[in-house]
Amino acid sequence: MNYELFRIFAKTMDIQAYTQEAVELLKQLISTPSVSRDETAAADILADFIGKCGLPCQRIGNNLLVHEQLDAEKPTVLLCAHIDTVKPVSTWTRDPFTPTVEGDRLYGLGSNDCGGGLVSLLQAYRILRGEGSEVRGERLAYNLVYLASCEEEVSGANGFSLALPQLPKIDVAIVGEPTGMQPAIAERGLMVIDGLARGKSGHAARNEGVNAIYEALDDLVWLRDYRFSKISALLGATKMTVTVLNSGTQHNVVPDECRFVIDVRPNEYYQNEYLFAFLQNHMKKCELTARSFRLRSSHIDEQHPLVQRCKAMGLQPFGSPTLSDQALMPFPSFKLGPGDSARSHSADEFICFSEIEKAIATYVELLS
């Protein structure tokens, strides 16, 4: 890693000092429960830290937007990560809200997803803006904006969607989700569809009525067997899976309704609206209702200068199966963050101090 890049900003800047400061901030955030839709206390802590750094901070609900004066002649880069966490699973062997250090590891809920990215991007923002320098940010060929979002884990209306209208025009975004500091340049979308087959109730002993389960069978088999033709080199095929099925009230009553849920994960070749219309046209008996079309697959051109810069640094672009705030971004974006996605939403989640240090250094090298 080229640590000489740091010297262009401030004589007093120390990568280890910034890392240690990031770790201490992350410990505070772990100690403060911030499950989606309950992020107020954690946002307070982060806003207080940002204020003590002398940075302007606009609070939009529990989203925190940071940027200084923007130059209209320059492109704008957004650094984005989320504050909120999922609920802790029951198999934790440690207190998920007590930051625990073991060697290079910091254990705690949200440490990996995505506290590491949250604090690393903030430190990179401070360094790149020239903290301690007499000429703050004027060395950069672009504007830099930092956003700590909330409700990411539930794609909530008061998260990134609430902050989006308050953002300046963004040319490209880096999202600090855990990717092992490799660039995820494509991401699957998500569409949840409710299905309904109607029948007619009757007494099972007399073979009366129309069984709604049998009405749904042909459509369910088609959903199981159909394969979409456009295969992504980064994400593979678009997937759809029936994940919930409910029907019937008791053993001797022919069910008059069969309800099910389809989980659809598009690659970058398919828009949610197209997929929904396609599925509707192929249902023989079932009615479909999409809960939302807003969580779209995202993709950034591999020829984008930042992606090319990643490759020049020896980083390997890949496609990510997991959803993030990228799905709501109407501008080019990619994920790049410390940690491992496999640790997310799992018991005994952790981030490594060395991963945070590497992340800060990599962000600065990438954007310098």
Closest CA to 162 of 122, 154, 28: 154
**Across the strands, what pairs with 85?**
35
* pLDDT on residue 130: 84
Q: Residue 229 pLDDT > 90, yes or no?
A: yes
Residue with tokens 């803006």: 129
Say whether pLDDT at 33 is over 90.
yes
Residue 12 has pLDDT above 70, yes or no: no
d(CA 100, CA 112): 13
Average pLDDT, the chain: 94
Please state the rounded mean pLDDT for residues 163-172. 98
Structure confidence at residue 121 (pLDDT) = 98
For residues 241 and 208, what is the distance between their CA atoms, to the nearest angstrom? 32
**pLDDT classification of 139: cutoffs 50, 70, 90:** confident
Per the CB < 8 A criterion, the answer to whether 136 and 129 are in contact is yes
Residue-level pLDDT at 14: 82
Is there a contact between 67 and 135 (Cβ–Cβ < 8 Å)?
no
- The pLDDT of 64-91, averaged and rounded, is 97
Q: What is the arithmetic mean of pLDDT over 156-169?
A: 97
Lowest mean pLDDT among 113-117, 136-140, 180-184: 136-140
Whole-angstrom Cα distance, residue 11 to residue 4? 11
Task: Band the pLDDT of 11: cuts 50, 70, 90.
Answer: very low
Q: Per the structure block, which two tokens stand in for 85?
A: 């966490």
Tokens (6 digits) for 69: 């004066």
Q: Are 109 and 205 in contact (CB under 8 A)?
A: no
Average pLDDT for 183-192: 97
Scan for tokens 């705690």, then name that residue.
108
Q: Indicate whether 245 pLDDT > 60.
A: yes
CA angle centred on 299, ends 295 and 300, rounded to 5°: 140
Distance (Å) of CA 245 to CA 21, 194, 212, 257, 343? 49, 10, 12, 11, 29
Residue for token pair 């902050």: 163
Q: 3-state SS string over the chain?
A: CCHHHHHHCCCCCCHHHHHHHHHHHHHHHHCCCCECCCCHHHHHHHHHHHHHCCCCEEEECCEEEECCCCCCCCCEEEEEEECCECCCCCCCCCCCCCCEEECCEEECCCHHHHHHHHHHHHHHHHHHCCCCCCCCCCCCCCEEEEEEECCHHHCCCCCHHHHHHHCCCCCEEEECCCCCCCCEEEECCCEEEEEEEECECEEHHHCCCECHHHHHHHHHHHHHHCCCCCCECCCECCEEEEEEEEECCCCCEECCEEEEEEEEECCCCCCHHHHHHHHHHHCCCCEEEECCCCCCCEECCCCCHHHHHHHHCCCCCEEECCCCHHHHCCCCEEECCCCCHHHCCCCCCEEEHHHHHHHHHHHHHHHC
